[in-house]
Structure 1
Amino acid sequence: MSELSNLPPCCRGAAADDPVHCPVESTLALIGGKYKALILWKLVGRTRRFSDLQRQVPAATAKMLTQQLRELERDGLVLRKVYPVVPPRVEYSLTEAGNSIRPVLQAMYDWGETYLAGKGLEANCGMEPLERDQEAA
């Protein structure tokens, strides 16, 4: 399956071999899935096991979390490392491409915080700005 197959129609072009490449829509297609931005956020600067991600993203069912992680892995943003031990141990971390999206995630956080403040609301989702040492890593 082509990586372009999950792009919105506006980015595919008239023919399958003639895609239109829209940077904004491509980015949204990659990180716009349910919980994807939060999963990426929770992986910035650290490796996590599946059970840890379940605690970090409590609203996601195990099935949904698995699906989103598989899509992020397929799209080259997340690395899944399986250790040959019993019981099975699987860890997730960001790839180089996944790490490169940190400034985008931070900009989304900053914009959202400003937007909420303009509406008289305060962020209460449990997310915190990325630490500067994580951004430089």
Structure 2
Amino acid sequence: MEEKLSILLVEDNVLNQRIVTFSLKKYKHDVTIANNGLEAIDKFREGKYDVVLMDIMMPVMDGLEATVKIRELENEMKVDSRTPIIALTANTMDNDREKCISYGMDDFMAKPFDIEKLNQIFQELEIVK
């Protein structure tokens, strides 16, 4: 993967933030961190991101509610194309994936974080060519 991306990482766990950021920086991506869903909405409103990596279970506002709010923001802003949102979660039951998609997410990745799997998702969603 050669294309540099602007990524919003929404994750409340500092260790997970470091692991994901370290992996993404190897590919020269710009990573902005939000510690919960509410921060994610504020940062999304302020900036332009190629993709959002969204934890599901967080304090203040969870990833599902934040995704719904981001999709509402995109509708209000009348964006040409919506920003892909990929769930990062320890919940790996079959219905968890479907639930994430039903809330407006584009894909689902189980923790622990795997950069190769994420790169594959980026290609499938055509975030990178």
Per the normalisation by structure 2, the TM-score is: 0.27
Kindly indicate which of the two structures has a greater share of residues assigned to strand.
2
Per the normalisation by structure 1, the TM-score is: 0.26
Indicate the structure whose relative CO is greater, using CA pairs within 8 Å and at least 6 residues apart: 2
Kindly indicate which of the two structures has a greater share of residues assigned to helix.
1
